[in-house]
Amino acid sequence: MKPKIDYTLYLVTDRELMSAANIEECVERAIAGGCTVVQLREKNASSKEFYEMALRVRKITSRMGVPLIINDRADIALAVDADGVHVGQDDLPYDAARSIIGNDKIVGLSASNLEEALAAAGMGADYLGVGAMFATGTKTDASLTSIDELKLIRAKVNIPIVVIGGINKETVPLFSGTGIDGIAVVSAIVSQNDEIKAAQELKSLFQNVVKNESLYF
């Protein structure tokens, strides 16, 4: 049975940006501040290193009751019994990821426009990661998605939507009335000296400014 996920504050890791001494500390502090789901995304790790890191992070997320999503690597997600995998447009195809990880796990897909979003929903994706919404240093080659395109996607698909790309305290209020289910954050949490406070502030801002208004969307 697939886990039920609260996508409100979706942490995406990046060791190259984090201020914490290690990834375990970063993840634990982010969850303590209110992160509701964690995606382990470490592009510059070997398979062995990524697997060992995933095992360590999995212990933390399991203990703290937060789902763990593995970026791209369905094999590692399966090996550490993560809750799911997230794949981009240029990663392992959805069908292949699903065949590896099984029907009881979450598979999320990235989408930057309506066409990609409709295709992802049609294939059976459990949620969409939409963006990049704004220019971001974590993914310099990403094409940008407008707020209007996001609203169009929301109107046409009925699976959860998480926005990503340049999400921080300044940009979160711009999503008021869009009907999104969560915000995916990298540097706005992992690069901060106080990850707990950063997560608390972002979660409160999203719930008060975006989610409450989205109830009337």
Q: How many domains does the chain have?
A: 1
2 in a structural domain: no
197 in a structural domain: yes
3 in a structural domain: no
Half-sphere exposure of 195 (CA within 13 A, CB side): 28
> Which pLDDT score, from 0 to 100, does residue 209 have?
85
The two structure tokens encoding residue 44: 């510059």
- Asked whether residue 212 carries a pLDDT value surpassing 80, the answer given is no
The arithmetic mean of pLDDT across residues 26-55, rounded, is 97
69 in a structural domain: yes
Torsional class of 32: left (φ above 0), alpha (ψ -120 to 50), beta (otherwise): alpha
Give pTM, 2 decimals: 0.94
208 in a structural domain: yes
- List CB contacts of 214: < 8 A, sequence separation 6 or more: 176, 177, 178, 179, 180
CATH of the domain at 167: 3.20.20.70
Q: Tell me which of 32 and 3 has the higher pLDDT.
A: 32
- Strand pairing partners for 127? 108
Instruction: Specify the DSSP element, H or E, that contains 68.
Output: strand 68-71
- Asked whether residue 141 carries a pLDDT value surpassing 70, the answer given is no
The arithmetic mean of pLDDT across residues 164-183, rounded, is 96
- Asked whether residue 216 carries a pLDDT value surpassing 90, the answer given is no
182 in a structural domain: yes
The predicted-structure confidence for 51-64, as pLDDT tens digits, reads as follows 999 999 999 999 99
4 in a structural domain: no
32 in a structural domain: yes
Torsional class of 131: left (φ above 0), alpha (ψ -120 to 50), beta (otherwise): left
Which domain covers residue 110, as residue numbers? 9-214
The arithmetic mean of pLDDT across residues 85-102, rounded, is 96
> Which pLDDT score, from 0 to 100, does residue 1 have?
84
**Buried b / exposed e along 10-40 (16+ C-beta atoms within 10 A):** bbbbbbeebbbeebeebbbbbbebbbbbbbb
